[in-house]
Structure 1
């Protein structure tokens, strides 16, 4: 789990992924502040600490590929290229939001960028990703789908049904389990008889692998192989990315006062910060400078503040919008 960053990925791509990770981190930190001040009231499940997983996986995908997300969706949305202003406006429940102000934090979408939607139902988008992969296969498309889900979804029967069907039909889908060690307020050791989620793949004759979800290069290279297999009709792969959320299950606080996890555990994982780890590597390799790093942070912070102002100034949906953008 402590393998060094790979040198097989170009410095240009690593820097591009760094920018995405910083964007996710700073966006989520700003959202946390806005939740604390009660300017944002939609329930928010923050992605702070897990940025390398979404970034590494989505960096291997094409625009036409589909990503299906969860209640902890902001990182996937931004990593797939979703619009920053539209996401912030959605958290403000404004008409200009990516879901027209009707979805909030847990139901974001960017169909034009390949993110048809996300859902608060644990495991709910896994079979939808399989369905999309089935459609791609029937259409002889070279597109693939990716299902993101947490360790909590490994309790759900639909997880196993989806693995079985995808493997049986050799569908172009990858399953990405973001194992942050906690299912809501319970440790994974208290919810799963066997905590080796990646080994579930063996029963369905498909490859499964566990990786360091805080190492962007390991995530990228593993996802790249899985995507290539899927795109070449060799079937699905289950990736279990070990990572950690710095904040509580929902909301802006770390929840240490609730006694669910220890400060020592949180501090240990914060020492393995995926953003800082990549930053150190880029500086060591001469792929960037501290001046450029500072400018990246400044530029992204300015973009986020513009998104906040856009959201504040945008109108709320009205009664005439009630039946728009819904299935008929």
Structure 2
């Protein structure tokens, strides 16, 4: 991992003097100290664009998000700071800069998380010999908990319109509403994930990286049976839903979804993003309906594919109060005197 460095000097005597000096500095450690100082003196902007970004392009699918966040929010504050001189106070200035520009807590959190990763790379690559300056900065906690869910009447009207306009959109909406699937999970479904005999769908690469089994109600089973019957030539590795270009569905479905939302006026007069109906509202509606009918919170957690129960507890307030019912049942069964 060492690189040979060749320097030309005018005389042999000077070359020997330089050799003696370098050997002396190697023994004392001064040579490496000076080399490390040169690394740490690299300006933040230079490190990001010359070292970090080329590495991120090979290692991260979201490298463009990193570049955008750095250019817009980080660079104006610390672009000309040497790596070693970026402090916790500088990171606080970035937070304030973003807050003053009305950026949401979620956007600030995401930007600082990216910046924290940039400094971790600097440490790993030997460009920084101190603690990560982002580590002790308190990240804002966004409250992006979705509140709105559809009523049965709203859901039925939406599905009726979706079926009239685009059958693929209709099927995707039904999968989210009655199985609680995320859009990405639906777009990644393969024919091999359908198990009609056991009435199951296999979600192999979900957002939280933990595969799970989804049980198909009758409406989903019928859709899956029709798809398998109509696409007998498709291999098990084929995606269930392909666009006209033969590729995975993307934003076009969301645009069609939003068009129906607008037609029904579901977001009229609503400014709070948590109250707006988006595709993910269907998954939220699935969990909300389960809670309303008294499904145990742990069962909802498993069906939603949540990693922790804390993520599912947002639905607990919708579950009917069963405490009184539990006491009454004890009396009814004469377990109390």
Tell me which interval the TM-score lies in, with the shorter structure as reference length.
under 0.3
- Between Structure 1 and Structure 2, the one with more strand by share is 1
**TM-score between both structures, scaled by the size of structure 1:** 0.21
Give 1 or 2: higher helix fraction: 2
Q: Quick check: which has more Rg, 1 or 2?
A: 2
Which protein has greater RCO, CA pairs closer than 8 Å, 6+ apart?
Answer: 1
